[in-house]
A and B are shown apart, each in its own frame.
Chain A
């Protein structure tokens, strides 16, 4: 393949992987924006989403098959359930800690993350599990670009979810309340906004999106694993920082950008797939040094 054909292929791959990163990064960034918590458990929520999709498909396959219709049904059910799980975690673990020192809530988040992945590790016996989706894997070409039906549907689905979220944030009262709380929680409370309810909704939406990303990753990669959330949690943070943490369009942009960087990075001879994760971590450090507010962030210093 000629160079520009390789690059075109990597552009598509990067956008696809990047849209997964973006979906996870949105939840990360939303939670950070609203309660200033680095939610370590968010990557594990993504992993739980993938496993709940697997469980649904295993149960539903004999009845309605494991094709696209049952996959979409499974996606919606998993998003709801995992969203509720996010709300429960928020209620049990984070809400009592909101006024505690920052260190305490960070350690709490770490504990939640460990509880989630260790539970799944024990249940899944620590093995890779085949994601039982039966979807088209036949490839076809547009020009030189090799595509499959699955990849196209995944990328369309991911972008639609981002679009729906964008509408939710910008066009509904709840979205408005979220943005207001991110600016000033105490004043919102004085204005009669039910802050705790909005925080719960934020966790629901963020977790549901992460679950969706988890299921899509399951379909895309074909196997899932209890530790799959660890690296994507880091990637989502990187994406959130690239776009500007707390800024939702920034998280989407950061996710896509990081996906592209990785896809093109693997083409650079010295980097390859072995150093892919090191490469994106280096980007995180570079962004923290040179553009800590991210691409879309305002460059004013933070006020307490």
Chain B
């Protein structure tokens, strides 16, 4: 169905302010200056700030890694994933079980956690994606719930109590056990995730995803294997989540099923959708909003999800491209 929406462009004052703010970053000089200033600031931040700030910032970097993975699935391939916390759990529990039960070194568990995520991704993605893209949404929703139930009821995962005694990673002889260590570790991971996301976006695969997202039939007619490409997006994105889960397990040293609830999947989704699906700065902005808003105003408590849900609805109705969307290149505009 190629029904193009031809709506007159409505620009509210708020939108034009946002636009002009972002247009500022279109200039390369400004953009790189801002980027370097920001990275420099983030590098020296741990020596300036309290543990509390470092904890929040570490959480933010962690969100960036996870949400960039989710962005591959949602933003690049246009598939809705509602059980991302489950893949995150797959990674965390793979590392957790290998480390706490068998004493295997943290770094050696990483490949296994990726393999586990790929297998889970295939089991869910293969039957679903060859049918309809939107079946994936509800099947992943179900998978999220099933994974939580499974880790709650198995013995090897420690049941409802979870796993304790996951070993800290050792990095060139340094055992990572301070919050500042984890701050830098997740900072590096976030940079890595941003880099990989950019490379994927510009790759042949990335272009195929974009094509499928915009027009599935035309893409198929051009010889792109729609199912396979989607499956790649789903599996690569899921592996991102699993790796982040492994690092999460190493940081916390204890994990329980409560860390992998539906609400976590929703928070990741919020971050991706809010900022702008498909665009890396947009996703980073979304993560900042999702991580910082609850920290700033702790008293909203039980209303937090309700507020986020309304934000999601309003964004979808009035600004579906997100706050900081992907700006189409000139040739793609009309």
Contacts and interface: CB of A to CB of B under 8 A. Distances in A.
Given A93-B317, A278-B150, A284 B139 contact: yes
Contacts of A183: none
B165 interface: no
B184 interface: no
B131 interface: yes
A277 B313 contact: no
Contacts of B143: 281
Contacts, number: 112
Contacts of B303: 122
A99 B7 CA distance: 11
B310 interface: yes
B1 A93 contact: no
B309 A288 contact: no
B56 interface: no
Interface in A10-43: 36, 38, 40
Interface stretch (B11-19, B60-68, B74-82, B249-257): B74-82
B158 interface: no
Contacts of B157: none
Contacts of A230: 145, 262
B82 A115 contact: no
A104 B137 contact: no
Interface residues of A, number: 42
B313 A103 contact: no
A44 B153 CA distance: 26
A111 B127 contact: no
B217 interface: yes
A100 B135 contact: no
A114 B266 CA distance: 9
A277 B316 contact: no
B305 A111 contact: no
Contacts of A103: 74, 78-80, 277
Contacts of A122: 302-303, 306
Contact of B139 (A114, A274, A285): A285
A100 B320 contact: yes
A241 B38 CA distance: 50
A114 B309 CA distance: 6
B312 interface: yes
B142 interface: yes
A150 interface: no
Interface in B1-48: 1, 3, 5
21 contacts: A38-B137, A40-B137, A97-B317, A100-B5, A103-B79, A106-B80, A110-B82, A110-B312, A111-B309, A114-B309, A115-B309, A115-B313, A119-B306, A122-B302, A122-B306, A274-B153, A281-B143, A284-B142, A292-B127, A302-B132, A304-B216
Interface of A: 36, 38, 40, 93, 96-97, 99-104, 106-108, 110-112, 114-115, 118-119, 121-122, 126, 230-231, 234, 237-238, 274-275, 277-278, 281, 284-285, 288-289, 292, 302, 304
4 nearest A-B pairs in the assembled complex, by CB-CB distance: A114-B309, A111-B312, A111-B313, A118-B306
